[in-house]
Amino acid sequence: MSALKVGVLAVQGAFAEHCAIVRKLGAEAAEIRAVSDLEGIDALILPGGESTVQGKLLKELGLFSPLKNMIAQGLPVYGTCAGMILLAAEIENDSRRHFAVMDISVRRNAYGRQLGSTLIRGSFADMEDVPMPFIRAPYIYKTGTGVEILSRRQGFTTAVRQGKMLATAFHPEMTCDLRVHQYFLEMI
């Protein structure tokens, strides 16, 4: 069997780190910058960065509608931080909406703009002691019925799964711990 091919949106933000982890886990990583890059991908990662910039570039590059359709048709997707904002149906403090495919409501920059960036260790699904860098992170304040909560911090939800969609407010790609990406690859 050929290796899984994971597309990583590479228009802005921390895409290189995701590609490195995907390759460490034995899958192929394909940087996505154009519609032609979508050919043959088995899954998609939406990295952290700035959701407003990413949302704008997705539209300018013609990637928005093809990706939204692929996700709606069941392409497994993992959004970290800004990527989670792109997936959220509701953004409390922003009038913009992006893919809006996950039944979650998020608040951008929920822990403050800079001082809210921190590294903690916490549990994720059935894993303990997972390193979790939060960088101007959102949190999830509301989840729909089909959404499974995988992690919480200070009373707010920070990681969720809905069917083949995974989202974390934190950045496992900034650490050496491969377990969250391994969890995603197992979803595929």
Contact residues toward ligand GLN (CB under 6 A) are: 48-51, 81-82, 85, 108-109, 135-136
End-to-end CA distance of the chain: 14
Secondary structure of residue 110 in the 3-state scheme: coil
Question: Nearer Cβ to ligand GLN, position 7 or 47?
Answer: 47
Integer Cα distance of 4 and 12 in angstroms: 23
Catalytic, 81? Answer yes
Question: Nearer Cβ to ligand GLN, position 51 or 162?
Answer: 51
For 31, the token pair is 């940087």
Integer Cα distance of 3 and 131 in angstroms: 27
Q: Which member of 18, 98, 173, 181 is catalytic?
A: 173
| Distance of closest approach, residue 59 Cβ to ligand GLN, in angstroms | 16
Integer Cα distance of 19 and 98 in angstroms: 23
Question: Nearer Cβ to ligand GLN, position 162 or 168?
Answer: 168
Catalytic, 19? Answer no
Integer Cα distance of 144 and 162 in angstroms: 9
| Distance of closest approach, residue 75 Cβ to ligand GLN, in angstroms | 21
Q: Which member of 171, 176, 181, 186 is catalytic?
A: 171
| Distance of closest approach, residue 36 Cβ to ligand GLN, in angstroms | 26
Question: Nearer Cβ to ligand GLN, position 51 or 158?
Answer: 51
> What are the φ and ψ backbone dihedral angles of 52, each rounded to 5 degrees?
-65, -40
Q: Which member of 18, 19, 81, 181 is catalytic?
A: 81
Integer Cα distance of 28 and 136 in angstroms: 29
Catalytic (active-site) positions: 81, 171, 173
